[in-house]
Amino acid sequence: MSESEPLVFTFGDPEPVMAGAIYDSLGTWLVDNGRYYETPVPLKGLARLLRANAYHGPAIEFKALQVMQSFKESWAVSHEAMNAVVIDFGVFANATFQKIRNGFGEVVQLRHLPFINMRRMKEPNRYCMLQPYGAIVEFEPDEVLHIKNYDVNQEIYGLPGYLGAIQSMLLNEDATLFRRRYYKNGAHMGYVFYAGGELDEDSKKAVREAVEGSKGVGNFRSMFLHIPNGDKDDVQIKPVGDFSTKDDLEKIKNLSRDDIIAAHRIQPALACLIPQNQSGFGDITKADEVYQKNEIQPVRKHLAASVNRVLLPKDRISFDPKNETTPM
């Protein structure tokens, strides 16, 4: 191709979430020779997302704390077990208990089963737990209580509502990693150091070492340079990049952060964000009341209804805001 011919190119498409196009097929299918159903999205990937940025994981933890603050435990369901179930439900939109029965077949206790390893088996109302090295622990029919939200694509597993913000979560992480590498490798210098005039070899070596020493640890150091009988144009600094104005990392961080907070439907004031205007975020008490009514109470009702359906009346749990959680 000659130098006069135009060069045309396009950027590639964004990588699919978790290196797989999960939105193309969110149904479930049988694996391991038809023994159990695979989940619509990789659960280990959802677990890793908790540490991808500064907002997603804390948002789920905050919501779990809000749900648990009025939990009244019973002999059948401990505070620790319910707290683990609430976290599982926030991360995976699924949670599981093992039913412990007495000699009469009545459920007298519920033990938490980490859902990240749980799978629905081919037989209705039967589950198994995946073990290391391919081993599987199978539970008896009706031994596992599965709590999930509703998914329109299939009825085996629930799906979390924040899936639409996964790209923003990963973009926020990528922006942070880029910024760290940018500073660490010294690329933030962003200029061409031009020195003319009469510089001997020792002076050139000293200047080169001083410039190289400004990278990494000890960066942004000042440098003194003297050229005898030099001209004002003998030394020139020619910028070739400006991290603060051209890379727009701050804008990317803020936009992706807003997507994450919106996906969790948390009021900005409750998410510990710093307001960018003089008026702030308004009355935080009112924001908390709306959040409790619209987000926390429905989760409490769903969990309590699912659990109490299998327990004896004397062992049922409650989420009464009037009662503080006290150990039993």
Instruction: Identify the pLDDT of residue 242.
Output: 53
pLDDT at 182: 72
Nearest one of 119, 156, 109 to 307, comparing CA atoms:
109
Q: What is the mean pLDDT of residues 89-96?
A: 98
Write b or e for each residue in 65-87: b if 16 or more Cβ atoms lie within 10 A of its Cβ, otherwise e: ebbbebbbbbebbbbebbbbbbb
Nearest CA to 163 among 300, 295, 20? 20
- 231 burial type by CB count under 10 A (0-12 exposed, 13-18 middle, 19+ buried): exposed
Tell me what the mean pLDDT of segment 112-134 comes to. 94
Whether residue 295 contacts residue 265, with contact meaning beta carbons closer than 8 Å, is answered with yes
The pTM assigned to this predicted structure is 0.75
- Structure tokens given for 213: 């020493």
Of 102, 110, 103, whose CA–CA distance to 82 is shortest?
A: 110
Q: Who wins on pLDDT, 316 or 6? A: 316
Provide the 8-state DSSP code for 121.
B
Residue with tokens 């009025």: 70
- Domain range list for the chain: 25-161+296-319, 172-246
Mean of pLDDT values over 206-213: 72
Tokens 């890379």 map to which residue?
247
- Provide the pLDDT confidence category of residue 177 given band limits of 50, 70 and 90: confident
Confidence of residue 283 (pLDDT cuts 50, 70, 90): confident
Q: What pLDDT sits at residue 325? A: 40
Q: Is the pLDDT of residue 191 over 70?
A: no
Lowest mean pLDDT among 115-119, 208-212, 227-231, 295-299: 227-231
**What strands lie across the sheet with 107-113, from one edge to the other?**
107-113, 94-101, 144-148
- List the structure tokens of 98: 């093992």
Q: What is the pLDDT of residues 216-228, one digit of tens each?
A: 545 555 666 666 6
When pLDDT is cut at 50, 70 and 90, the band that residue 273 belongs to is: confident
Q: Token match 């093992």: residue?
A: 98
Tens of pLDDT, residues 45-57:
999 999 999 999 9
For 193-205, the pLDDT digits (tens) are 666 666 677 777 7
Nearest partner of 290 among 43, 66, 64, 33, judged by Cα: 66
Residue-level pLDDT at 23: 47
Q: Are 251 and 258 in contact (CB under 8 A)?
A: no
Give the pLDDT confidence score for residue 229 in this predicted structure: 65
**Given this model, what pLDDT does residue 211 score?**
67
Average pLDDT over residues 121-136: 93
Task: Check: CB of residue 161 under 8 Å from CB of residue 263.
Answer: yes
Residues 236-261 have a mean pLDDT of 74
Across 296-323, average pLDDT: 91
